[in-house]
């Protein structure tokens, strides 16, 4: 199966630094069988499209409205992302769950909107450090996917991609051990299968402190389809090296 590398720029960047980064990405196409994309802040979608259109590299957003078009001040709906050529949108990132009180129900509604607009939802799930230390990571992952399945049903959920992002590994420099990633991915597939999702075909990425020097180890994990890369996706040499490691 092909490997996937997605960058999450978070709320970082400006047009000058983006121009350098996007030009470097366009000049380093991924190897055959590797899919690459960058999820950028909304104001930079036009810039990403202008540079990446016609290359093999996709672009997307980091959030979407749970509603459609209408009187929802401040929201960006899935149809707008589709019009701007977004291939993907992140949903349920732990920063949004923690800082913006996103619930599984809201996340499910966002997935639904994205699927209807033909934009691939990349659904982030993962446990906190306290949950891991208390041995409760399975319960957290199980609860997160069960809540989505209850609202969406297995067919819709099977069209989403997942990113296993343990909260304690995000932005901490503490990448999860290969055995822990393998175990969590296998558990997610098992839970999804139990919910009626044909999970052997479902894409599950790993995210959390992926860097050039640990990317190969992450890509080698059984059942891991690629990486969601935060901070390192804003560093030209790092991201290009991670993409190269996926090939
Ligand atoms: C992320 O924000 O999705 C992420 C994985 O961040 P980082 O790579 O910086 O840990």
Alpha-carbon gap, residue 20 to 18, rounded angstroms: 5
- Protein residue with its CA nearest to atom 1 in ligand 1: 230
Q: How many angstroms separate the alpha carbon of residue 207 from the centre of ligand 1?
A: 6
3-state secondary structure the chain: CCEEEEEECCCCCCHHHHHHHHHHHHHCCCCCCEEEEEECCHHHHHHHHHHHCCCCCEEEECCCCCCCCCCCCCCCCHHHHHHCCCCEEEECCHHHHHHCCCCHHHHHHHHHHHHHCCCEEEEEECCCHHHHHCCCHHHHHHHHHHHHHHHHCHHHHCCCEEEECCHHHCCCCCCCCHHHHHHHHHHHHHHHHHCCCCHHHCCEEEECCCCCCCHHHHHCCCCCCEEEECHHHHCHHHHHHHHHHCC
pLDDT score for 2: 86
pLDDT score for 44: 98
Dmax (CA) for the chain in angstroms is 48
pLDDT score for 78: 98
- Protein residue with its CA nearest to atom 3 in ligand 1: 230
Mutation test residue for ligand 1: of 13, 61, 228, the one with most atoms within 8 Å of CB: 228
Residue pair 189/181 in contact (Cβ under 8 Å)? The answer is: no
Ligand 1, CB cutoff 6 Å, lining residues: 8, 10, 165, 170-171, 207-210, 228-232
Q: What is the ipTM of this complex?
A: 0.99
Tokens of 185: 């991915």
Domains of the chain: 3-245 (3.20.20.70)
pLDDT score for 65: 98
pLDDT score for 201: 86
- Protein residue with its CA nearest to atom 4 in ligand 1: 230
pLDDT tens for the 247 residues of the chain, in order: 789 999 999 999 999 999 999 999 999 999 999 999 999 999 999 999 999 999 999 999 999 999 999 999 999 999 999 999 999 999 999 999 999 999 999 999 999 999 999 999 999 999 999 999 999 999 999 999 999 999 999 999 999 999 999 999 999 999 999 999 999 999 999 999 999 999 888 999 999 999 999 999 999 999 999 999 999 999 999 999 999 999 9
């Amino acid at each position: 199966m092909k490997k996937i590398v997605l960058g999450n720029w978070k709320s970082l960047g400006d047009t000058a630094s983006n121009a350098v980064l996007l030009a470097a990405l366009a000049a380093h196409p991924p190897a055959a069988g590797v899919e690459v994309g960058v999820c950028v802040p909304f104001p930079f979608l036009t810039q990403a499209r202008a540079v990446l259109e016609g290359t093999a590299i996709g672009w997307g957003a980091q959030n979407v409205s749970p509603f459609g078009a209408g009187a929802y001040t401040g929201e960006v709906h899935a149809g707008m992302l589709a019009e701007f050529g977004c291939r993907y949108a992140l949903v349920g990132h732990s920063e949004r769950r923690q800082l913006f009180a996103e619930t599984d129900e809201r996340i499910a509604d966002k997935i639904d909107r994205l699927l209807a607009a033909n934009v691939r939802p990349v659904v982030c799930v993962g446990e906190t450090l306290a949950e891991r230390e208390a041995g409760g990571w399975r319960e957290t992952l199980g609860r997160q996917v069960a809540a989505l399945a209850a609202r969406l049903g297995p067919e819709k959920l099977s069209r989403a991609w997942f990113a296993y992002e343990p909260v304690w590994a995000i932005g901490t420099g503490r990448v999860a051990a290969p055995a822990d990633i393998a175990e969590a991915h296998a558990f997610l597939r098992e839970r999804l299968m139990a919910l009626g999702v044909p999970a052997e075909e479902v894409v599950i990425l790993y995210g959390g402190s992926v860097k050039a020097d640990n990317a190969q180890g992450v890509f080698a994990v059984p059942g891991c389809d690629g990486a969601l890369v935060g901070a390192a996706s804003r560093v030209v040499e790092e991201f290009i090296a991670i993409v190269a490691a996926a090939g």
